[in-house]
Amino acid sequence: MTLTRLRDGGGVQAPPPVRPRRRGIGWAQRLEIVALSGPAILVFVSFVIFPVLMAAYYGFYKWKGYGVPTNFVGLDNYKTILQDTAFHEALWHNAEILVLSLVLQGPVAIGLALLLNRRMRGQSAIRVLIFVPYVISEVITGTAWALILQTNGAGNDILESIGLGGLTQDWLADPKLAIWSLMFILTWKYVGFAVILFLAGMQNIPDELSEAAAVDGASFWQIQRHITLPLLGPTIRIWAFLSIIGSLQLFDLVYIIWGQYVASTAGTSTMATYMVVEGRNAANYGYGNAVAVVLFVISMIIALIYQRFVLRRDTEGALTGGS
């Protein structure tokens, strides 16, 4: 939103650019605009904007999801949410996941991108393979890792067979470890995406810069530190933004592993799993909608703050794909 304003430079208020052949917008053109963009806007507004607005309405009711909600309870749902320790925990887990995703995946991905940015044999194959986990569905990722990391799974088996039997753990059910197992799985699944982004960003940096630095006697690491990393800034900030949004809305993997394979949530519940468990699974749709509103507002505030203070200094068209 704010991003768009950056690049479209107030397309709303700005006077139309004066072109010699311009005759103003005729009705035929208006009709074309409506005919071409109408269907997309209709579907988007009906199934994205409208539900979000309805959530705000349903959130004021105690409602089982049948018929028209009648039991108006005002802000009661919101009071319950804000007082529920289970929600506090979920919120805290989201915060942990958000921060850990940034500090774990970021450096790993930058390191790997630096490695892979060199001319080497098999480079394109490596780039493809590192991206495979990103393409596999969350359900499959969850199933595979749940089976690998259970106490009698392949993970512990491998540790034992290489003589590290003392390190075997209950990776998923132990509340002290579960969040780290989750972070490991998240990194596995999403680091390829970050690497691909960073590699693309690095390829936009002109070779002349590092060549000139090398002529001046800069070492490999000095070049990376003082040329590549600073110029990669915009890409890193965009990646971080996507990562933050993803962390706030995390649902699939947690719900599958800690809903199906592990009995307890073991300190991994998120706002989204809380919403599904307390809303849909408990057939308490008014409450579920209120949680959705809270989740929406929190994501929105963080997104706006991030755009205002972090993304703002980037050149136009970073996320919105300038021309």
Partner 1 sequence: MARRTSIVYLVALLLIGLMLGPVLYIIVGGFRTNSQITVSPAGLPDPWVIGNYTEILASENFWRQVGNSTIAAVVTTVAVVALGVMASYVLARYKFRGRGAMYALFAAGLMFPATVAITPLYILVKNLGLVNTLPGVILPQIAFGLPTTIIILVPFLRAIPKEIEEAAMIDRCSRLGFFWRMVLPLSVPGLITTGILAFIGSWNSYLLPLFILNDQDTFTLPLGVQAFASQYSVDTAKVLAFTSLSMIPALVFFSLFERRIVGGLTGAVKG
Q: Examine residue 94 and tell whether it contacts partner 1 (CB under 8 A).
A: no
3-state secondary structure the chain: CHHHHHHHCCCCCCCCCCCCCCCCCCHHHHHHHHHHHHHHHHHHHHHHHHHHHHHHHHCCECCCCCCCCCCECCCHHHHHHHHCHHHHHHHHHHHHHHHHHHHHHHHHHHHHHHHHCCCCCCHHHHHHHHHHHHHCCHHHHHHHHHHHHCCCCHHHHHHHHCCCHHHCCCCCCCHHHHHHHHHHHHHHHHHHHHHHHHHHHHHCCCHHHHHHHHHCCCCHHHHHHHHHHHHHHHHHHHHHHHHHHHHHCCCHHHHHHHHHHCCCCCCCCCHHHHHHHHHHCCCCHHHHHHHHHHHHHHHHHHHHHHHHHCHHHCCCCCCCCCC
Binder to partner 1 among 18, 23, 85, 120 (CB under 8 A)?
A: 120
Q: Least CB distance from residue 157 to partner 1, whole Å? A: 4
Give whichever of 66 and 216 is closer to partner 1, judged by the CB atom: 66
Q: Site for partner 1 (CB under 8 A): which residue of 75, 99, 103, 115? A: 115
Toward partner 1, which CB reaches closer, 29 or 264?
A: 29
Question: Which x/- pattern, by CB under 8 A, does the window 280-309 give for partner 1?
Answer: x----x--xx-xx--xx--xx--x------
Q: Does 77 engage in binding with partner 1 (CB under 8 A)?
A: no
Site track for partner 1 across 138-177, x = CB under 8 A = xxxx-xxx-xx---xxxxxxx--x----------------
Residues 4-63 that bind partner 1 (CB under 8 A): 4-5, 8, 10-12, 16-17, 25, 29-30, 32-33, 36-37, 39-41, 43-44, 46-52, 54-55, 58
Which position among 178, 256, 266, 277 is part of the footprint of partner 1 (CB under 8 A)? Answer: 256
Minimum CB–partner distance for residue 223 and partner 1 (Å): 14
Q: Does 215 bind partner 1 (CB under 8 A)?
A: no
Q: 8 or 89, CB closer to partner 1? A: 8
Please identify which residue in 20, 74, 122, 163 interacts with partner 1, judged by CB under 8 A: 122
